Amino acid sequence: MRKLIIAIVSAATLAVFTGSTMVAAAAIKPPSQDWSFSGMFGTFDRGALQRGYQVYAGVCAGCHSVRLLAYRNLLDIGFTEEQVKKIAAEFEVSDGPNDEGEMFDRPARPSDRFVKPFPNEQAARAGNNGAMPPDLSLIVKARKGGANYLHALLTGYKDPPDGVKVPDGMAYNIYFPGNQIAMPAPLSEDAVEYADKTKATIDQMSRDVTTFLAWAAEPELEERKRLGIKVLLFLIVLTGMLYAVKRRIWAKIGH
Amino acid sequence: MSTKEFKNPIVRWIDYRLPVFSFMEHELNEYPTPKNLNYWWNFGSLAGIVLVMLITTGIVLAMHYTPHVDYAFDSVERIMRDVNYGWLIRYVHMNGGSAFFIVVYIHIFRGLYYGSYKSPREILWMLGVAVLLCMMATAFLGYVLPWGQMSLWGATVITNLFSAIPLIGDWIVTLLWGGFAVDNPTLNRFFSLHYLMPFVLVGVVVVHIVALHQHGSSNPIGIDTKGPQDSIPFHPYYTIKDLFGLGVFLILFFGFVFFAPNFFGEPDNYIEANSLVTPPHIVPEWYFLPFYAILRAFTADAFIYWPVAWLMTPKLAGVLAMFAGTLVLFVVPWLDTSPVRSARYRPLYKQFFWLFVIDCLVLGWVGANPPEGAFVLIGQLSTAYYFIHFLVILPLLGKFETPRPVPTSISEPVLGGGAAGAGAATKPMEGA
């Protein structure tokens, strides 16, 4: 009994302890970037969003899913209905059973969720040296530092410093906790050919795909901020009036 | 009780059979309230409004939420993405929990500063502590529902604490889990209890208000009202003052909801729960951090553990201390032996009060950091001080402190000084 309790306590302590040392190893704080969607009035840059989708589809989608997005959501970032139908139709989804009781494959429709690159976690690990590429739907919300961290990570691949050995199948990244990351540097110059002819530098692609993933994590952001401004303005006026009424009523008391 | 004749015949007809209008007239319109309450007295009604907001948004969320380990996380994301204004309802609920604790903690510290718990308001105070306990249970249960990594691992760490109880500990943990780990049965019962607890809370709040209305609010001077000149009707004076305070609160609250909705949250909770991956740094929500620090202060080599080392494991000591940290509030009315209520007239207590506030903040800071380096000793010292404040300082102060002279009535300093506040309140004492 006593042993068990000690084990649990020490496990919890150890978890906390190792966590902090891992964080300590990262050491470098991701630098703050100027994002189109930050600040009270921020909105997503439509060009960056569409280019970002191109980077996701051309580079990330080979390993990473964004299972919470549906193809129809792409309408919100400026793709036309025709474009969305075309994008969706490039993927196959399993449907059924049909009248004969058979499952069948059909092209994806705008109402379908983004098709995952691997059918299950085991397949994903088998295809990636045992590492699990995380789903990217919420990645910007699920990491400390958010978009700044993601951009820093994507552009933070460096040669390991002298004396640091990186095991086979791992890469060195100055922003990743512990510095050893299973994902090889994903971006290379001109990895995608942008439809709007923007030069596809690593920095550009990283910013674009980060904007796209920030939108994927918080598709409500623009509506939220728009409504927020109205609500706050209303509340400030209302509170000002309530204060005036309060003064008026309390004047009778004269303190 | 006054039996007022209502002009409206329908109101009169109803009131004769069910005296709701007399009740409202008595408890709101006539309810005599000290005229010198400051803005720290806003937080009680504010807490009630936040509670209503939480229950309303919670009921709507429950319509769209699926309490199953395979669907819970995605159903919350569906609320965020596909339910009309679901993101707003969820963010209000999420930040509402934090707001509730901020408001209630201020309410409690106000009570401690002005000695609101002293006779005849001991039961009122104890009911308030019961409300706090209900809140903590509800908040803990609710945090598990989105089924993120912190949901799962927070629940695992906290439920495991009960295993420290001798003999029946393991049995209790199995009962809480409904199995041998935090899993689907745990999520189901937590959802059920999270829906139940707020209504228990409302019940306790109602009794809290009944007890309040028995003797009315205390006040910053801490002396009883001595007649009609000292009090004013609750309506319209405090209804409008509370409404103005509500406006200020809502500006701040919606500032967070619309522009920094995840400020109080942990990024890790946007990763779906995974029992195979332990998050690097398990922390509870911010409002539990001081208690978390007390829990972790009890390690095998901690000096605060030595006195009880012969009796129990450090884990049990930590768990007991954590619960004692809240439960000690129940006996504050008897630990504080001073006959003077308000800290305004207690020069020493006033200083110790602020030391205690700082101690609580330090505990919160320690709770947010990994227990290593300087945090270990700071955590142990601030834990020790937390209990010393209640168990040693409060009883002794009443005996050794010389209070400053207290004014004879509320009206006297209020009218005599020309303006409410400490400056005005000190004036008549010089003659007293």
CA distance B249 to B46: 8
Which has the closest alpha carbon to B376: B273, B265, B269, B300? B300
Which has the closest alpha carbon to B91: A239, A71, A231? A231
Residue A6, pLDDT > 80, answer: no
Quickly list H helices, chain A.
2-26, 46-58, 81-89, 121-126, 146-154, 202-217, 221-251
Determine which of A5-9, A196-200, B55-59, B426-430 has the lowest per-residue pLDDT on average: B426-430
Residue B27 touches chain A, beta carbons under 8 Å: no
Residue A254, pLDDT > 70, answer: no
Residue B331, pLDDT > 50, answer: yes
Residue B330 touches chain A, beta carbons under 8 Å: no
Interface of B with A in 391-420 (CB under 8 A): 414, 418-420
Tell me how close the Cα of B116 comes to any Cα of chain A, in angstroms.
Answer: 22
Q: Count Cα neighbours of B12 within 13 Å in the Cβ-side half-sphere.
A: 6
Cβ contact A228–B254 (<8 Å) = yes
Mutation target to probe the A interface, by most A beta carbons within 10 A, among B91, B163, B270, B415 is B270
For residue A198, the 8-state DSSP code is -
Residue B240 touches chain A, beta carbons under 8 Å: yes
Q: Which of A2, A143, A225 sits opposite B267 (nearest CB)?
A: A143
Mean per-residue pLDDT over chain B, rounded? 93
Region B83-109: what's the mean pLDDT? 98
Residue B415's pLDDT band, with cuts at 50, 70 and 90, is very low
Q: What percent of chain A has pLDDT over 90?
A: 85
Q: What is the pLDDT of residues B259-300, one digit of tens each?
A: 999 999 999 999 999 999 999 889 999 999 999 999 999 999
- Is the four-CA dihedral A13, A15, A21, A26 of positive or negative sign? negative
Residue B49, pLDDT > 70, answer: yes
Give whole-number Cα distances, B412 to A250, B215, B362, B432, in Å. 18, 21, 40, 11
- How confident is the model at residue B277, as a pLDDT? 93
Give long-range contacts, CB 8 A cutoff, 24+ apart: B238-244.
B238/B33, B238/B37, B238/B45, B239/B28, B240/A242, B240/A245, B240/A246, B240/A249, B240/A250, B241/A246, B241/A250, B241/B37, B241/B39, B241/B42, B242/B42, B242/B45, B242/B46, B243/A242, B243/A246, B244/A239, B244/A242, B244/A243, B244/A245, B244/A246
Residue B1 touches chain A, beta carbons under 8 Å: no
Residue A9, pLDDT > 80, answer: no
Provide DSSP, B121-161.
Answer: -HHHHHHHHHHHHHHHHHHHHHHHTT-BHHHHHHHHHHHHH
Residue B431 touches chain A, beta carbons under 8 Å: no
Residue A207's pLDDT band, with cuts at 50, 70 and 90, is very high
- How confident is the model at residue B416, as a pLDDT? 46
Mutation target to probe the A interface, by most A beta carbons within 10 A, among B49, B299, B372, B410 is B372
Q: Which of A19, A138, A249 sits opposite B240 (nearest CB)?
A: A249
CA distance B384 to B317: 13
Cβ contact A20–B370 (<8 Å) = yes
Residues of A in contact with B77 (CB under 8 A): 68, 137-138
Region B314-323: what's the mean pLDDT? 96
Residue B419 burial (C-beta neighbours within 10 Å; 0-12, 13-18, 19+): exposed
Region B326-346: what's the mean pLDDT? 97
Residue B181 touches chain A, beta carbons under 8 Å: no
Residues of A in contact with B257 (CB under 8 A): 228
Q: Which residues of B does the annotation mark as catalytic? A: 213, 217, 241-242, 285
Residues of B in contact with A22 (CB under 8 A): 280
Cβ contact A238–B247 (<8 Å) = yes
Q: What percent of chain B has pLDDT over 70?
A: 94
Region A181-208: what's the mean pLDDT? 96
Cβ contact A250–B420 (<8 Å) = no
CA distance B185 to B226: 57
Tell me how close the Cα of A154 comes to any Cα of chain B, in angstroms.
Answer: 19
Tell me how close the Cα of B396 comes to any Cα of chain A, in angstroms.
Answer: 36
- Prediction ipTM score: 0.89
Residue B12, pLDDT > 70, answer: yes
Residue B235 touches chain A, beta carbons under 8 Å: no
- How confident is the model at residue A4, as a pLDDT? 46
CA distance A178 to B217: 56
Residues of A in contact with B160 (CB under 8 A): 8, 12
Determine which of B19-23, B45-49, B120-124 has the lowest per-residue pLDDT on average: B19-23
- How confident is the model at residue B152, as a pLDDT? 97
- How confident is the model at residue B413, as a pLDDT? 60
Cβ burial A116-127 (10 Å sphere, 16+ → b, else e): bebeeeeebeee
Question: Is residue B285 a contact partner of residue B263, using CB atoms and an 8 Å limit?
Answer: no
Residue A28's pLDDT band, with cuts at 50, 70 and 90, is confident
- The end-to-end CA distance of chain B, in Å, is 36
Give long-range contacts, CB 8 A cutoff, 24+ apart: B2-6.
B2/B26, B2/B30
Residue B4's pLDDT band, with cuts at 50, 70 and 90, is low
Q: Which residues contact B64 (CB under 8 A, 6 or more apart)?
A: B75, B78, B79, B83, B86
Question: Is residue B212 a contact partner of residue B131, using CB atoms and an 8 Å limit?
Answer: no
CA distance B28 to B233: 8
CA distance A220 to B80: 8
Tell me the sheet residues that pair with A104: A95
- How confident is the model at residue A252, as a pLDDT? 85
Residue A13, pLDDT > 80, answer: no
Residue B160 touches chain A, beta carbons under 8 Å: yes
Residue B139, pLDDT > 90, answer: yes
Residue B2's pLDDT band, with cuts at 50, 70 and 90, is very low
Q: Which two tokens stand for residue B137?
A: 């249970």
Give whole-number Cα distances, B57 to B60, B93, B138, B224, in Å. 5, 6, 15, 39
Q: Which of B243, B261, B372 sits opposite A20 (nearest CB)?
A: B372
Region B176-197: what's the mean pLDDT? 97
Q: What percent of chain A has pLDDT over 70?
A: 89
- How confident is the model at residue B281, as a pLDDT? 87
Q: What is the pLDDT of residues A53-108, one digit of tens each?
A: 999 999 999 999 999 999 999 999 999 999 999 999 999 999 999 999 999 999 99
Q: Which of A17-21, B97-101, B157-161 has the highest mean pLDDT?
A: B97-101
Residue B161, pLDDT > 90, answer: yes
- How confident is the model at residue A22, as a pLDDT? 43
Query: In one letter, which amino acid is A16?
Result: V
Residue A20 touches chain B, beta carbons under 8 Å: yes
SS3 for A175-188 is CCCCCEECCCCCCC
Q: Which of A40, A232, A245 sits opposite B254 (nearest CB)?
A: A232
Q: Which two tokens stand for residue B341?
A: 């209520």
Residue B419's pLDDT band, with cuts at 50, 70 and 90, is very low
> How wide is the angle at C-alpha A81 spanned by C-alphas A80 and A86, nearest 5°?
100
Residue A22 touches chain B, beta carbons under 8 Å: yes
Interface of A with B in 80-119 (CB under 8 A): none
Residue A230's pLDDT band, with cuts at 50, 70 and 90, is very high
Question: Is residue A109 a contact partner of residue A88, using CB atoms and an 8 Å limit?
Answer: yes
- The end-to-end CA distance of chain A, in Å, is 65
Q: Which residue of A has its CA nearest to B166?
A: A1
